[in-house]
């Protein structure tokens, strides 16, 4: 889970697998932590037989029965999640109060907005292909929220960001062009210019020549150069720069180890 969790409940022999994060849950405490910190990733299918089997393994039969009754009575997902956290007693009353407030806030949004938020959460965790599946599902639905130009445009921009992260720049460009046709968002021409540069073309994409002035184009170039300068000391660039003080051959070995780790992270993003 990435954090130290003290577990009092009996560990499960068959852990509950969370495919979105690629993790296994073995205890009630870990289940509570997952729900509390990953609410955006949980959908209506969560209270299923896999969950019930897991609850029986950790000796939470009464909680299983309670959830089954709630489902029969038409209880919503958020009510069920709150009851799980209540019964497992991993979080304090103050933390449960904060969680309920979060649930109330999320319930105000529509189903499509919640689904996009799930895609965005996956994107932020580097699960680009999983996020793409969410965005594609939204765009192919007949939900009224998605039919609105502004919302559909935002989905396409997020979809383009996913393709850019996996270095499929032509597909990312197509997404941004479609988004721009929907609502003429003034921030998109610069994003499209950056994608063009990533593809080796320091120029505006076709169709923007009469929209973006030469002065504005120069500003795009300046902004991109500034970002490149900053990138040298942020993220992966910062990790690499931190190895400069090492002596050879340790420095080369450290660079190779870092490169292998980055490649491994990239491969995992492609398969999840």
Domain edges within the chain: 16-107, 111-231, 235-271
Q: Would you state the pLDDT for residue 53? A: 96
**pLDDT value for 271:** 52
* Helix, strand, coil percentages for the chain (3-state, nearest 5): 65, 0, 30
Regions of the chain short of the pLDDT cut 70:
1-10, 143-147, 229-248, 251, 255, 262-263, 265-272
> What pTM does this model have?
0.70
pLDDT, residue 237, reads: 59
Q: Which pLDDT value is given to residue 125?
A: 86
Q: Whats the size of the chain, residue-wise? A: 272
Identify the CATH homologous superfamily for domain 111-231.
Answer: Tetratricopeptide repeat domain (1.25.40.10)
Q: Which long-range contacts (CB under 8 A, 24 or more apart) does 163-168 make?
A: 163/132, 164/195, 164/198, 165/123, 165/126, 165/128, 165/269, 166/128, 166/129, 166/269, 166/270
Q: What confidence score (pLDDT) does residue 1 get? A: 47
Q: First CA to last CA across the chain, in angstroms?
A: 17
């Amino acid at each position: 889970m990435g954090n130290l969790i003290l577990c009092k409940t009996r560990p499960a022999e068959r852990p509950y697998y969370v495919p979105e994060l690629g993790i296994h849950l073995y205890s009630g405490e870990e289940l509570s932590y997952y729900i509390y910190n990953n609410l955006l990733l949980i959908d209506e299918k969560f209270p299923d037989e896999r969950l019930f089997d897991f609850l029986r393994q950790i000796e939470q039969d009464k909680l299983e029965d309670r959830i089954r009754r709630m489902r029969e009575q038409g209880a919503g997902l958020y009510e069920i999640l709150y009851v799980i956290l209540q019964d497992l007693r991993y979080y304090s009353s103050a933390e449960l109060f904060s969680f309920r407030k979060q649930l109330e806030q999320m319930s105000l949004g529509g189903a499509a907005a919640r689904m996009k938020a799930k895609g965005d959460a996956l994107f932020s965790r580097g699960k680009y292909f999983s996020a793409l599946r969410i965005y594609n599902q939204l765009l192919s639905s007949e939900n009224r929220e998605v039919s609105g130009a502004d919302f559909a445009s935002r989905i396409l921009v997020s979809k383009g960001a996913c393709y850019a992260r996996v270095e499929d720049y032509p597909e990312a460009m197509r997404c941004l062009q479609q988004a721009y046709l929907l609502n003429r968002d003034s921030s998109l021409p610069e994003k499209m210019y950056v994608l063009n540069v990533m593809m080796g073309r320091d120029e505006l994409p076709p169709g923007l020549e009469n929209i973006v002035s030469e002065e504005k184009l120069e500003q795009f170039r300046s902004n991109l150069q500034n970002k490149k300068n900053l990138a040298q000391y942020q993220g992966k660039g910062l990790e690499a720069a931190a190895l400069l003080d090492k002596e050879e051959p340790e420095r080369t070995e450290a660079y190779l180890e870092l490169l292998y780790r980055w490649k491994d992270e990239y491969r995992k993003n492609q398969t999840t």
